[in-house]
Amino acid sequence: MVSGKLGVTYVAGQGAVDHDPVLYDQALSRLDKSGEEIIWFSADRFQYSVWDSIQADPRGFVRRVWRNVNTLEGVLFTRQVFPFYFLIILSAGWFGQAWNKERVVKEAFLFAIILPVFIFLPFHIELRYFAPMLPIFLLWLAKGITALADWLQQTWMNLRPSATPLSRIGVRFSVLACALVVLYFLVLQPLVVRDGLAGMNPSRREAGLWLKANAPPDALIMSRDTEVPFYAERRWAATPHEDYAHFIAYVRKRGANYLVVDEREVTVIRPQLRLLLNEDAPPSGLRHVYTAYDPRGNTIVYEVLY
């Protein structure tokens, strides 16, 4: 609400909910009424009202929240994050013994910590939005391990009252269970990192480094994403989601020196810009200077001619 992006984020979120990258990009990157800036950076973003959108389609709002609840379940309770079967141990901590007033206050405090993240449910689901829940889940998991250890030790003592040498079996179980949980996440981390790297496009970095070595220090780079100008250490302006005529007019209006596009952008997200894939015969006013090749899609750098 402070940034003014609440309403536009809600509108763009429908594209994420529907897995429609075109709708998502249109909501954030089309030009504002003045034609001077994309919506995401424009004061026009203040004109969106979440409440008006909900009132216009309350059933759609309920369906959207329900879809996001199901998406959250599929994102959060996975092998890479917090396995679903950990909830069994967690439940043992919750319901292993009756609560007293002190326990109610403590659990209410923990619930209060995670409650704010659910404000994202009407928008769209990204795992990072719900990361604050994970430390609380780990606390509850530890409580569950303790409850199971207490149950195991008490059961052992009931069955073998004279077995004093093993009276600390519950402690041993707790240590072993916690060690296994830590080991589980340690073993899993390389897989998580590998999956994250598999979703990246290293050609943007290569294009940025090429521009760092070859572009003037005061060059303005225009692209949809920020990776290229970040690695180039040059000024950046965002390109708009418009037809090619309005797109290139805006690029020239901003005084860009270089225009950068990637293959997914101009084939999936902004197919109206597909002509920019033809680096051997680019549109008038553009000169192809570099292509970073990548199996996930090339990144192409054009110099803007004036």
Q: What is the pLDDT of residue 172?
A: 83
User: Cα 275 to chain center, whole Å?
Assistant: 30
Domain boundaries defined on the chain: 1-56, 78-198, 202-304
Question: What φ, ψ does residue 19 adopt, rounded to 5°?
Answer: 55, 45
Q: What is the pLDDT of residue 165?
A: 53
CB 132 within 8 A of CB 112: no
Distance (Å, whole) CA 38 – CA 246: 12
Q: What is the pLDDT of residue 275?
A: 96
Q: How many CA atoms lie within 13 A of 96 on its CB side?
A: 22
Distance (Å, whole) CA 298 – CA 170: 57
Q: What is the pLDDT of residue 167?
A: 56
CB 292 within 8 A of CB 207: yes
Amino acid at site 123: F
* CA–CA distances in Å: residue 176 to residues 99, 145, 146: 26, 10, 11
User: Cα 55 to chain center, whole Å?
Assistant: 28
- CB proximity list for 266: less than 8 A, separation 6 or greater: 273, 274, 276, 277
Report angle CA 93, 94, 95 to the nearest 5 degrees. 100
Q: What is the pLDDT of residue 166?
A: 52
* CA–CA distances in Å: residue 268 to residues 24, 97, 280: 12, 54, 21
pLDDT tens sequence for the chain (306 residues): 667 788 888 999 999 999 999 999 999 999 999 999 999 999 888 888 888 889 999 999 999 999 999 999 999 998 889 999 999 999 999 998 889 999 999 999 999 999 999 999 999 999 999 999 999 999 999 999 999 988 888 887 777 766 555 557 778 888 889 999 999 989 988 888 888 887 788 999 999 999 999 999 999 999 999 999 999 999 999 999 999 999 999 999 999 999 999 999 999 999 999 999 999 999 999 999 999 998 888 999 999 999
Instruction: Give the 3-state secondary structure of residue 105.
Output: helix
**Per residue in 67-91, is it b (16+ CB within 10 Å) or e — as a string?**
ebeebbeebbeeeebbeeebbebbe
**Token match 């989601």: residue?**
241
State the CATH class of domain 202-304: alpha beta
Q: What is the pLDDT of residue 21?
A: 94
Question: Which stretches does DSSP call E strand in 69-177?
Answer: none
